[in-house]
Amino acid sequence: MLNRPEPAAADRRGPASAEPVVIGHRGASAHRPEHTLLSYEAAIALGADYIEPDLVSAKDGVLVARHENEIGGTTDVAGHPEFAARRTTKTIDGRPVTGWFTEDFTLAELRTLRAEERIPDLRPDNTVFNGLAQIPTFEEVVQLAKEHGVGVYPETKHPTYFDSIGLSLEEPLLEVLSRYGWRGRRDPVFIQSFETANLRELRRRTQLPLIQLISASGAPYDWTAAGDPRTYDTMVTPEGLREVAGYADGIGVDTRRIVPAGPDGRLLAPTTLVDDAHRARLKVHTWTVRNENSQLPVDFRLGDPANPAFPRATGDVMGWLEKLYRLGLDGVFADDPGIARAVRERVL
């Protein structure tokens, strides 16, 4: 897929770009099992400006790309009898989780596993790639990005938890990026986190752009663990945004923070969040734009709801993207970066 001329460097949107960037969410997860080199390669071929690896740690401190440290749902680990005894229950961010965890495996052991589609009922076509890809290291993702002239948008997953078991994510993250020459504010990197303490720590250590992730509900786990009663709602007030601007360069927000929905699932008027964040000199990226009807607002679903295929059929994702772009966003996370890029080129 990548044997074609790459776009000129000026065609790829970096952190200082005036046009919204397209972030390949977990690669091109609409087309390939997420967080595999197959998925990242597809995202690049489809025109993503950035590829997004979620990062967790192996037992020996190597960062690998997985949506969660529990890997029972994204690999064939359950079919490996040699690892059966490692199935366990842990408390992750205050919740019990049962399965197999990356921090209990060395990188060499993780390499014996193969990736599988996480949501096969929604994306059955992706299962044709089950068993073909290994779990990639963060370094391999960076190497791929450098080779093809795109940026990386890594997320540190469960940083408080990984700190608690002696496998801090931030130091190896910065070490890999530095080794490949990415250290400055204008380099094509955004580092993101749902927590706040590790972003504040990173701000003291690096000039690379940082993004505070903001969910539609709940609170940063480091706040919860410290007994802080504040929630993500606090962050999206003008005062909260000014506080975020003291340590981050932008926010990555659930689309519902930008265009909320009513009780019937239909969209309401946009909020003022984009303008408020821009006044605080923060970039605004939104997640996640997905193709399937079941993942789109009710207003943009297409087809016969009575048909069994309706939930996984492609809805009017183009119209949803156009609406979001016209609100002045600085970037979108998309499971299908090809559609996100095509709509951007047409609308803007």
pLDDT band at 304 (very low <50, low <70, confident <90, very high): very high
Average pLDDT in the chain: 95
pLDDT band at 15 (very low <50, low <70, confident <90, very high): low
Instruction: Write down all domains in the chain, each with its CATH number in brackets.
Output: 21-347 (3.20.20.190)
Nearest-Å Rg of the Cα atoms of the chain is 19
Lookup result for tokens 């964040």: 277
Report pLDDT digits (tens) over 165-203. Answer: 999 999 999 999 999 999 999 999 999 999 999 999 999
- In this prediction, residue 18 carries a pLDDT of 73
What DSSP string runs through 18-60? SSPEEEETTTTTTTS-SSSHHHHHHHHHTT-SEE--EEEE-TT
More confident residue, 14 or 274: 274
Report pLDDT digits (tens) over 86-122. Answer: 999 999 999 999 999 999 999 999 999 999 999 999 9
Lookup result for tokens 């046009």: 19
8 Cβ contact partners less than 8 Å away, ≥ 6 residues apart: none
- In this prediction, residue 73 carries a pLDDT of 97
pLDDT band at 8 (very low <50, low <70, confident <90, very high): very low
**Is residue 50 pLDDT above 80, yes or no?**
yes
Q: State the Cα–Cα distance between residues 150 and 142, nearest whole angstrom.
A: 9
Strand partners, 51: 24, 152
